[in-house]
Amino acid sequence: MRLLHTLAFVLFFVCSSCAQEEDTLSRSASKSAENYTPQPSLGYTIQHNYFTLSYSSTHRQAEYSYYYLSPESILGGQARTDDFRVDPKVKSNPVKSTDYQGSGYDRGHLCPAADMALNLTAMSETFYMSNMSPMAPSFNRGIWSRLEDWVREEALGNSGLYVVTGPILSSSCGSLKESITVPCAYYKIVFKEGSQPKMLGFVLSNAGASGSLQAFAVSVDEIEKKTGLDFFPQLENTLEQSLESKVSLSGWRF
């Protein structure tokens, strides 16, 4: 009996330690609820465990997806789940997994699955249809994929980055038969805070493209004009203006 009690205690201790370790990793990889969440412009905020989005019922997609990308989240090892499904937090006009069928467009992730390899919950959340936008296959699997790879490399090299991604819904290139807006372009913003903060934005047309990623770099101010969103308003005004008003490739590896 004494042996059984001892074994039970050891088992409890090991399980508790594992749970604490996973909780620590979760906190490290899910700063998305902290600090820099953008204010919605066309939609309303939906907070998931590992990223935040603003869902537009009119356009039937998010106007942004925002999260903190940590090395732990990239290197977690969780396999893709591919469980595309309705987001239960969408209040109206949710998108089903089959709504893109026959459209010729990919169900393009805003928060990439490969950014959320921390655990099963993080990975599975990226397959909510609220995190999808109609992307041309040549774009989604080409230059956009290259940009996503670059962001992960920079997050690893910089010990984490804040990332905001979304469609530019002010310019529509039509819609799917389910009234899902097809954006003409997409943006991505990366921000490294600290003693030497840096920020960089990109805008890419929803079409196949080649060339260097630097060619698509733009100021965050330009993205704000195109989207109507105010990014990183929580920063001190002088710093925000300095970071968002220019295109600085310094400190980024291409």
Active site residues: 109
Using alpha carbons only, how large is the chain's radius of gyration in Å? 20
Phi, psi of 223 (to 5 degrees): -65, -40
One-letter amino acid for residue 167 of the chain: P
Q: How far apart are CA 125 and CA 113, in angstroms?
A: 9
The type of residue at 168 is I
CA distance 115 to 160: 11
* E strands, 155-197, in order: 161-167, 172-175, 181-183, 185-192
Measure the CA angle with vertex 221, ends 198 and 190; round to 5°.
35
Helix axes 237-244, 220-227, angle to 10 degrees: 90
Q: How far apart are CA 160 and CA 29, in angstroms?
A: 9
- What whole-number distance in Å separates Cα of residue 32 and Cα of residue 52? 6
Map tokens 């490290």 to a residue: 28
Q: Which helix (H) or strand (E) holds 215?
A: none
What is the Cα–Cα distance from 148 to 152, expressed in whole angstroms? 6
